[in-house]
Structures are given as C-alpha cells and as structure tokens.
C-alpha cells in the first residue's frame, strides 16, 4: 500500500497495523517531518518504508504496482503517477479540491492503463499537496462550470494520464 503525506506517521502506523509489516510505503515531502515520523515508527516497532520525495510522483521507482493508494493531503487533479502505480481493481482514496466549498474524499478503482474512476464518499478539508497551491479555476481540472454544491455526491470522477473529467451521473436527479 502507498500513502502520500506521512506527517506524524500516525496514519502510517494504523495502516501497517491493518496490513502487516513491510507492506506500507509512505512518502513525505519534508525531510525533517519524514525523519521524525521514521523515528517514531521505529520506536513503536512499526515496519514501514518511509521515503522523502514529492508524493505527486508516487513511488519514485515508478516500477511498483499498489493495491491501495491513499493520500492525506488534497489534490486538484489525481496525479498521473498514482494512476500508473495503481493495480487494476485497486483502490485509490484521496481528498479532491472541489468547487462545492469543501474538498471531497474520492474513492476510485483502477481500471488499468493508468486510469481510474470513482465517486465522492465524504466531505473533508485537508491541507493541499505542496506544489499545488496557486489559484486555478476548477474547470482547469475537469469540473463542469456552475456545479450544484448540494449534489456533490452525484458526481463521478474519471482520471487518466491526460487529465480528469468530473461528470454529473446520469439518472441522479
Ligand atoms: C494532513 S498532513 C498528513 C497527516 C498524516 N497522515 C498523519 O497521520 O499525521 C499532510 C502531510 O503531507 C505532506 N505533504 C504536502 N505536500 C506533499 C507532497 N507533495 N508530497 C508528499 N508529502 C506532502 C505535508 O508535509 C504533511 O506532512
């Protein structure tokens, strides 16, 4: 399993508790934070792989396939590297910036060939992934103009190597 945004390492420890030793790779962009999390995890006897890197690029080796990818910072677009590194049928969970006035947690399923599709499952607020903070219109990230904020559950998210499209599900009136 791949986690982006190690932070304190608390979530990493929970994931490793669920999935077992040496099953979790976690990526943190801040070297000091990553080192502190690594030390905490070691002290707690949690065996996880802690990397310092820009998680937007996923696992820096870009060779592994993951059954699960989870991000604990929000993104405006599901990064192509995550889609490439997600096993077909695998699950990707991430907070997605939305024009509804809050982020939405999306749960997506890998469809193979570097793409995934899924639905919003919750509203949430997270710090944004570093490097993704300059203001840009939501339409640049596949959102239709003028969404109905009350209907955030009724959208579906399709993402691939070229971008993402967020569409109102047909029959969701
Ligand atoms: C909300 S915190 C994560 C909390 C963490 N899951 C925990 O259990 O403490 C988000 C983390 O993502 C990190 N981060 C921000 N941008 C990042 C990026 N591009 N790549 C990797 N980590 C990033 C931040 O430094 C911060 O530690």
118-165 per-position pLDDT tens digit: 999 999 999 999 976 778 999 999 999 989 899 999 999 999 999 999
Asked if residue 133 belongs to a domain, the reply is: yes
Residue 100: domain span: 2-168
Residues 38 and 11: beta-carbon distance below 8 Å: no
Pocket test for ligand 1, best of 1, 2, 5, 27 (most atoms within 8 A of CB): 5
* CA 31 – ligand 1 centroid, Å: 11
Question: For residue 173, what pLDDT is reported?
Answer: 63
Residues 84 and 62: beta-carbon distance below 8 Å: yes
pLDDT category of residue 6 using cuts at 50, 70 and 90: very high
Question: For residue 3, what pLDDT is reported?
Answer: 98
Closest ligand 1 atom, residue 132 Cα: 19
Which protein residues touch ligand 1 with a CB less than 6 Å away? Answer: 4-5, 7-8, 10-11, 27-30, 33, 54-56, 72-73, 126-127, 129-131
Residue 172: pLDDT over 80: no
Residue 17: pLDDT over 70: yes
Helices (H), 20-169: 31-43, 80-85
Domain count, the chain: 1
Take atom 3 of ligand 1 and give the residue whose Cα is closest: 7
Question: For residue 132, what pLDDT is reported?
Answer: 65
Tell me the pLDDT tens digit for each residue of 142-154.
999 989 899 999 9
Residue 71: pLDDT over 90: yes
Exposure b/e, 16-50, CB count within 10 A at least 16 = b: beeeeeeebbbbbbeeebbebbbebbeeeebebbb
Pocket test for ligand 1, best of 2, 8, 9, 29 (most atoms within 8 A of CB): 29
Question: For residue 57, what pLDDT is reported?
Answer: 96
Asked if residue 173 belongs to a domain, the reply is: no
Residue 5: pLDDT over 90: yes
Query: From CA 94, how far away is CA 76, in angstroms rounded?
Result: 10
Contacts of 149 (CB under 8 A, 6+ apart): 99, 100, 101
CATH code: domain of residue 90 = 3.40.50.150
Query: From CA 76, how far away is CA 59, in angstroms rounded?
Result: 19
Question: For residue 134, what pLDDT is reported?
Answer: 77
Closest ligand 1 atom, residue 56 Cα: 19
pTM of the model: 0.96
Question: For residue 131, what pLDDT is reported?
Answer: 77
Asked if residue 16 belongs to a domain, the reply is: yes
């Amino acid at each position: 399993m791949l986690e982006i945004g190690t932070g304190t390492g608390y979530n990493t420890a929970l994931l490793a508790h669920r999935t077992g030793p040496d099953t979790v790779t976690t990526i943190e962009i801040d070297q000091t934070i990553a080192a502190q999390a690594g030390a905490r995890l070691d002290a707690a006897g949690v065996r996880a792989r802690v990397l310092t890197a820009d998680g937007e690029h996923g696992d820096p080796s870009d060779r592994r396939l993951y059954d699960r990818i989870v991000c604990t910072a929000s993104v405006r677009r599901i990064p192509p590297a995550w889609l490439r590194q997600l096993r077909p049928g695998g699950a990707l969970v991430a907070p997605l910036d939305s024009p509804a006035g809050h982020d939405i947690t999306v749960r997506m399923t890998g469809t193979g060939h570097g793409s995934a599709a899924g639905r919003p499952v919750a509203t949430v607020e997270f710090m944004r992934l570093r490097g993704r903070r300059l203001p840009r219109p939501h339409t640049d990230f596949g959102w239709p103009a003028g969404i109905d904020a009350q209907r955030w559950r009724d959208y579906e998210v399709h993402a691939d190597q070229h971008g993402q499209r967020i569409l109102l599900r047909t029959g969701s009136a």
